[in-house]
A = this chain, B = another copy of it.
Amino acid sequence: MTQQSSPRRVRLTSHASTTARFPVRWGASDPVARGPVIAGPPDTPGRNAIGAHHGGLSVYRAVAVAAGGLDAAHVPDLTDTAPTDVLGPFPGWTDPGALVALDPWGATVAADFEDLLAEGVRIQPTIAVTRSRLRLPEAEVAIALGTLEPDGDILMEDGSIAVTKAAIEPVWHLPGIADRFGVDVHALRRVLFEQTGGMFPELVTRPDLDVFLPPVGGTTVYIIGDPARLRPDVETGAKAAVTARVHDECNGSDVFGSDICTCRPYLIQAVHGCVRDAQAGGIGVVAYFRKEGRALGEVTKFLVYNARKRQVGGDIAAEYFNRTECVAGVQDARFQQLMPDVLVWLGIDRIARLISMSSEKYDAITGAGITVDERVEIPPESIPADAWVEIEAKRAAGYYSSREQADLSRTGRRMDP
């Protein structure tokens, strides 16, 4: 690598000496012992993590700096930003193998590292927790139909739903990520570097940096019911029954109601189920993961839609997964193995009702040591006519269902051009 082409000397990578002040002790017993996670430009004082805060959005921040709208030296003023609700600490927070894809202490850096922030060390929250009200048109219809009933606490008369929500940016502990997938950490780091087009050479050159903030989307968790009920009751030790959905982003359905899949209908079913179960003394959790198109992206998804419609025999369930593999080389890149971290972060060790048919999600959740009492499928009346191809293909691949399996080669759909 040469530097002559650059107008002035540029620091292409950091050196091991820079991390001496703030080593990260993943899984340590408290945030100070664990140490702050510090990412940023290569010359950031105390920097001890590869990658960038806000993932890919760091590109827009960089443009803002280049265009003169943002001072690169800006230190966030975190006054009044603390979480609205105390979440944790829970046992998994201090088990280095239980949480590998998020920083459990990421919401409270303003309090935990007040002295360092006052010194000007640029420590940023990777989690934010706030309260909100949701207005869903489906909830208004459900109230009119009598399938949801306002209680003035969780569901209001005007149809709004009270929630506590947390936005979580990914923070990967690379040795733990490698263990989760059963691969060598050096091999993982090399492939992460190579297959992303050479993003972050430090993945290869700085094996002493174990923490990586990857430019992938984060997770939002919606908690319906008092989050304090995630803890055992002080007197009885009993925990509230958890109703949960772990939902992977599908913008076309979640926002625009595309009728080729069940994503929004299932998501709404989960929100309504969480409301009812929270009203009955439980607590609801909906986690929303930014992994569009099975983490293969929307371009891949639309290419596959076209190939499915045009293949000989039309769009049938028997060919559902094959078409994705032809285009993308893999059926799915979501890696549910990392998904349970958010449940562990919330201290969930038992799910009374899991609103999901996915076998990958079920296996990942139970593999993380979380008991699942009941799996709740989407009822046939909620499945759009053109989404049966997907549902039957998934059931044949092992998805949970109480219904009889249909003939895949006969499950097709109306053809658009």
Contacts and interface: CB of A to CB of B under 8 A. Distances in A.
A42 B198 contact: yes
Contact of A60 (B39, B54, B254, B334): B334
Interface stretch (A5-13, A232-240, A276-284): A5-13
Q: How many chain copies does the complex carry?
A: 2
A63 B296 contact: no
Nearest to A42: B198
Contact of A328 (B76, B82, B165, B302): B76
Interface string A31-47: 00000000111110000
Interface of A: 1-3, 5-7, 10, 12-14, 39-43, 50-52, 54-72, 74, 76-84, 125-138, 141, 160, 165-169, 177, 181-183, 186-188, 190-202, 204-207, 213-218, 220, 222, 251-252, 254-260, 264, 267, 271, 288, 291-292, 295-307, 309-311, 326-330, 333-335, 384, 386, 416-417
A126 B298 CA distance: 10
Contacts of A201: 1, 12-13, 198, 201
A263 to B, nearest CB: 10
A136 B256 contact: yes
Contact of A6 (B5, B135, B204, B214): B204
Chain B CB within 10 Å — which of A51, A58, A309 has the most?
Answer: A58
A321 B197 CA distance: 37
Contacts of A188: 63, 66
